[in-house]
Chains A and B, each alone.
Chain A
Amino acid sequence: MSSVLARAIPVGEIEVLAIDAWRAQLLARAQARARPVIVYGRRDAARVVLTAVHQDGAGLVAARTSVDPATGYHELTSSLPALHCFERELHEQLGVRVAGHPWLKPVRFEGRDQAAMGSYPFYRVDGKEVHEVAVGPIHAGVIEPGSFRFMCFGEHVLHLEIHLGYQHRGVEARLLQRDPRALAPWAETIAGDTTIGHAWAYAAALEALAGHEVAPEHELARAVMLELERVAMHLAGLAGLAADVGFLPGAATYGRLRTTAINSSMRLCGSRFGRGAVRPCGSGVTLDDELRELLRANVQLLRRDGAIIDDSFEHARSVRHRLAGVGVVSADLAMQLGLVGMAARSAGVAIDTRMPAHGLYEHHPIALCTETGGDCWARAQLRISEIRASLDWLDRVLAERPTWRPARDPVPALAPSRLAIAVVEGWRGEVVHCLETGEDGALVHYKAQDPSLRNWMGLALAVRGNDISDFPICNKSFDLSYCGNDL
C-alpha cells in the first residue's frame, strides 16, 4: 500500500452526475464531513468536465459532471466557502460561468500581460479617514513577488486583499508538453521549497497510472527526504519570524540549523533542496553506513541545539508578546475556508494526510501535532513541535540501519483512460497532483495544486483587525508560496 494518499481510477468508473446532482453531492459530502481535496476542470470539446475529489477516511473519492461553460452553474462558495479558490480558478482558467459567486476575482491572471494586473477588482472601504496602502509586487526583501493592498483606518487593517499572478510561468501547460515519465525536474520546481512534496506527488500519481508498486526502500528514502525538507523549511520559517520580531539569536541560530538540515539533504542526493532525490519508480538517494552515521549525528545536533534555541525563543517575553494574539484564525474559520496543513493544524484542525497511518507510517508512525491558538504564536509553536516530531521520527527510522542506493525501474506503459490522484503532506500542507490519460494512454491532463492556493485567503482574513505592522509576521507565520499559487 502506498504511503501517500494515491489512487488510480478507471475513467469509466468515476461517478458522472448531472450538474444539479453534482452540486447536491458536494453539499451532502460537506454535511457528512468529507473534506474537499480539489475541484478542477478540463476542457472537453465545447464543454468543461468538472472533477471533485474528497478525502473520505483514508480514501479518495471522485465525482464528475460536465457543463457548458457559457451556461455554467450556480456557485457553491456561499454555502461552502472552502470551494472559493476552485470556483475562481474554473472561471479564470476555463471561462466557466459561476453564477452568483461572491468573490469571483482572478487567482493568477493566467495568460494575461502586466497591463491586466492593474485591473484587479479590489474591494474598497469608504470612509472619511479610511486609506489604502499598496505593497508590491516587488517587496523589500529577497522574496517572490505578489501584491497586497490594505484598507486601513489609521494603523488598523479593516481589510486586506492579496493579488497574485506575478509568478505565473505556465507550469501546467508545460507539464503536458514533455514526456510524462520525465517530468520530475518540473515537478520539483512547481514550488522549489517543496521539491520533495511535489516530486513525490508526481511520482506516486504516475506510478498509480503505470500500475507500478514502488519498492519499500525507495518509499522510505522519499519519506526521509520529506521530513528533512519539513525540518529545513520550518527552521527557515522560524529564522525569518525571529528576524521579523527582532530576536536576533533566533535568526542566527535557526538559520545555521537550517544549513545543517539542507546540507544533510545534499549529502544524500547532491542538492540542498532534494533535487534528484525522487524519481518515478525509483530514487536518487544514497545512504551507506558512513552517510547514515553522519545523518544520525546531524539529527542529534539538530535536536540538541534546537532545544537550546527553542527554550530561549519560547521564553523570551519580547517574542511571545509580539506573536501571541496576532493574526488569529479560529478553528471554525479554518474549517470553513478549507485551510490545510500547518495553517489548519495550528488552529486546532487536525488534518494531516500522513494520518491515519498507512503504508510505511504504520510501521514508523509519526506524531500528529496541533495547536489551538490559531495565532502567529501557535503557528510558531506548531513549527517547533513538528521539527521535533520529524527529528524523533528520523532518529527511529535511522536506528533500523537502512541503506539505499540510487536505482530506478523503467516506468511501465501508462494505463489508458485512468485518473490518478496523489496527495502528499508537504511541509506547508497537502500537495495534490491529478494526472489523467486518454484512450491511447497519453497524458491528457495534469493538475498540480500547492497548499498555498487554499491558504492565502486564511492570511487575508487573519490580518483583519490587526495593525498594519503585524502583517510581516502574519505573512511569515503562514509562509505561503507565490509560485505554487501562480503555477
Chain B
Amino acid sequence: MFKSLRVRLSQGKQFIPDVRAAKPAGFRGMPRIGPAPCAAGCDACVAVCPTAAIRTDPLSIDLGRCVFCNECVSACPEAKLELTPEPRMGAASRADLAVGPGAEERIRIRANEGLARLFGRSLKLRQVSAGGCNGCELELNATANVNFDLQRFGIEWVASPRHADALVLSGALTRTMKDAVRLAWEAMPEPRFVIAVGACAISGGLYEGASGVERTFLDEVIPVLYVPGCPPHPLTFVNAVLDLLGVAE
C-alpha cells in the first residue's frame, strides 16, 4: 500500500499539457533552408544524402525520404541547412512533403472535412509493420504512453483491423508481408484510410529498391496522411492526425 503510494507520488503528472505547441529540446526535425544562394554547381548536400532526398536548383528536401541524419547540414559549405526542433512535419499529400526555402510558410495539413465529421471525436487505428526496424513501432507505442496520451483525443490503437478506421503502415513493405498487409486492409470496414509512417513507408527510405521490398500495395492505395521521420517523433504523429481531423489548437 505504502509502496504504491510512493510510486504514485514519484510519478506526479507526466502528460504534456499542450501537444500542439510542444517542441522537443534537441530534436532534429523540420529542416530550415537559409535564403542565401548555393555556390554555383555545389552539390555537397546531395552527394552525402543516403536517401536521395535533396534536389538542387532550387534547393528542396523531400521529407518523405529524409532520415534526418544531419549529413547534409554538416556538408553544406554555406551553412544554409538546419534541422530545427519543430516536430510538426506531417502532410496530407506526397507533394506537400517537399520543403524549400521559406519553409515557415509551408502549408500545414488542411483538415479533411469528411474525415473530421466521421472520426473527429473517435478514431481507431490498426498498426501494421512490414519491414519496420522497431523504431517507428516503438514511437507509435509511445504515443499512447502517459507522456503523449493520445487517448485523450479519442484516438486509440486497436487489436483488430475489423475495429479500425485507419491502417497505420510502417516499414518499407516487404515482399513476405504483401498478402498480410492486403488482408488487414480488406478486413477493415469502410470508410477507411491509410497513414504512412516513417521514411520507409512513405518512399521506401533507406530500403527503396532493396531485394526484399515490394511496394505495390501503396501504388494502389494512396495514403491520406504522411508522417515523416526516421523514426517520427510521437509529436509528429499526434499532430499530423489532429491536424487531419481539424482538432482545435
Determine if B133 and A173 form an interchain contact, defined as CB atoms under 8 angstroms apart.
no
Inter-chain contacts of B37 with A (CB < 8 A) = none
Assess the A113–B176 pair: CB atoms within 8 A.
yes
A448 to B48, CA, bound (A): 23
B178 adjacent to A114 (CB under 8 Å): yes
| Interface flags, B1-33, vs A, CB<8A=1, else 0 | 001101110110010000000001111100000
Complex Cα distance, B8 from A360, in Å, reads 39
Inter-chain contacts of A190 with B (CB < 8 A): 133
Q: Report B48 CB to chain A, min CB distance, Å.
A: 7
A318 to B134, CA, bound (A): 30
Known A109-B176, A169-B174, A312-B4: A272·B139 in contact at CB below 8 Å: yes
Residue of A nearest to B139 (CB): A272
B28 and A270 contacting across the interface, CB-CB below 8 Å: yes
Q: Which residues of B contact A185 (CB under 8 A)?
A: 50-51, 67, 69, 206, 230
Interface centre among B132, B171, B178, by most chain A C-beta atoms within 10 angstroms, is: B132
Cα–Cα, bound, A266→B171 (Å)? 22
CA distance A311 to B14 in the complex (A): 20
**B146 close to chain A: CB less than 8 A:** yes
Q: Does A145 contact B (CB under 8 A)?
A: yes
Asked if A325 CB lies within 8 Å of chain B CBs, one says: no
Q: Please give, as numbers and ranges, the residues of chain A lying within 8 Å of B138 by CB-CB distance.
A: 192-193, 236, 273
CA distance A178 to B210 in the complex (A): 12
- Does A182 interact with chain B (Cβ within 8 Å)? yes
Whether, in the assembled complex, A45 has its beta carbon less than 8 Å from a beta carbon of chain B, the answer is no
Binds A, one of B88-96, B105-113, B122-130: B122-130
Whether the Cβ atoms of B28 and A114 lie closer than 8 Å is no
Is the CB–CB distance between B146 and A271 below 8 Å? no
Number of interface residues of A (CB under 8 A): 68
- Other-chain contact of A114, B132, B175, B211 (Cβ < 8 Å): B175
Is the CB–CB distance between A178 and B174 below 8 Å? Answer: no
Contact among B8, B67, B211 for A249, CB-based, below 8 A = B8
Of B26, B83, B177, B210, which is within 8 A of A173 by CB? B210
Q: Does A186 contact B (CB under 8 A)?
A: yes
CB of B180 closer than 8 Å to a CB of A: yes
CB distance from B221 to the nearest CB of A (A): 16
* Contacts between the two chains (Cβ within 8 Å), count: 202
Q: What are the residues of chain B within 8 A of A312 when measuring CB–CB?
A: 3-4, 6-7
Say yes or no: is B179 at the interface (Cβ < 8 Å to chain A).
Answer: yes
A305 to B11, CA, bound (A): 8
**Is residue A327 within 8 Å, beta carbon to beta carbon, of the partner chain?**
no
Asked whether any CB of chain B lies closer than 8 Å to the CB of A144, the reply is yes
B7 near A117 (CB under 8 angstroms)? no
Instruction: Please pick, from B14, B130, B136, the residue contacting A256 in the complex, using a CB distance under 8 A.
Output: B14
B134 touches A253 (CB 8 A): no
B129 adjacent to A145 (CB under 8 Å) = yes
Does any Cβ of B come within 8 Å of A29's Cβ? no
Q: Among A145, A195, A263, which residue has its beta carbon within 8 angstroms of that of B130?
A: A145
Query: From residue 132 to 146 of chain B, which have CB atoms closer than 8 A to chain A?
Result: 132-142, 145-146
* Shortest Cβ distance from residue A463 to the other chain B in the assembled complex, whole angstroms: 21
Task: List B contacts of A363 (CB < 8 A).
Answer: none
- The yes or no answer to A142 lying at the interface (CB within 8 A) is yes
Question: What is the distance, in angstroms, from A323's C-beta to the closest C-beta of chain B?
Answer: 17
For A117, list chain B residues within 8 Å (CB).
Answer: 176
Q: Which of B26, B50, B130, B139 contacts A166 (CB 8 A)?
A: B130
The 10 closest A-B pairs by CB, nearest first: A192-B133, A192-B135, A170-B211, A270-B28, A140-B159, A170-B212, A170-B210, A267-B26, A312-B3, A168-B212
User: What are 17 A-B residue pairs whose CB atoms fall within 8 Å in the complex?
Assistant: A111-B211, A114-B175, A115-B179, A141-B157, A142-B137, A166-B130, A169-B172, A169-B210, A186-B206, A191-B134, A252-B11, A255-B146, A270-B83, A271-B27, A276-B68, A311-B3, A312-B6
> 18 extra interchain contacts, Cβ-Cβ under 8 A, other than A184-B69, A263-B25, A270-B83?
A116-B176, A144-B132, A166-B174, A166-B177, A168-B176, A168-B212, A170-B212, A170-B213, A185-B50, A193-B133, A195-B135, A249-B7, A259-B142, A266-B24, A272-B27, A275-B69, A275-B230, A276-B28
